[in-house]
Amino acid sequence: MTPEVFWANKHLVLESAEQCDAFLGKLRAAKGAEANALVTWVPGTPLYIAASADAAHPETNPWATFTHIVNCTATHPAPLDTYLSSIQPETDRHLRYLCLGIPDGKRGQLALGQALPVAEAWMRANVHDGCKVLVHCNHTRDRSVAVVVMLLIRMYMHVVRVGEEIKAQEDPVDKEEIRRVLVWLANHYPRAMPSRASLKQLNRYLIPAPTS
């Protein structure tokens, strides 16, 4: 989506969650062919996003392609054992692989909220220029998307061209800003469709609590 398209549809994106969802649905339908890619690069960042099953696909071979992996599920895919065993010394493995332990279903809603600060701290501590970071979850439209949106806002807002101006890093984040970033991501990754519960966790983590 170009800035011109965003501003032409600003009322649909920002007025309500329902209209934002409908607009994203139309955007995904228009870009359906692009949704078939196994792994999608988030432009201007070291981030890549995929479903867990696609990440393990022979054509993807993430264990050789990516320098870091963020697993947004509660399970440890067997092929990762080979990837981890290649990292020496063994004590460095936690610097390259992060399992956030987010289960499917309602139990995962709270776990996602707890995982967001963990993912941000791990990225800041371990990812540097030249890295390639794969973020994956079971369904690739929800938990991994929420983590990527958080990282875009916290670390990569300078590449999110969603308007004529980008808020300064120190400016407070609001729901409008989160929706803008989600629309930007959906333009590059049409399968992005986080649940309302995931968006609620994003809001809680990213939006400062009101002061009394």
Extents of the domains making up the chain: 38-82+93-159+170-202
**Sheet containing 97-99: order of strands:** 39-41, 47-51, 133-137, 68-71, 97-99
Which CATH architecture is the domain 38-82+93-159+170-202 placed in? Alpha-Beta Complex (3.90)
| Amino acid at residue number 96 | R
SS3 percent helix, strand, coil of the chain, rounded to 5, is 55, 10, 40
| Amino acid at residue number 3 | P
Residue ranges of the chain whose pLDDT lies below 50: 1-5, 7-8, 31-36, 162, 164, 166
| 61-105 per-position pLDDT tens digit | 556 688 999 999 998 776 677 777 878 888 888 999 999 999 988
CA dist., res. 76 & res. 102, Å (int): 11
CA-nearest of 144, 177, 146 to 162 is 177
- Whole-number pLDDT of residue 58: 57
CA 26 to chain centre: 20
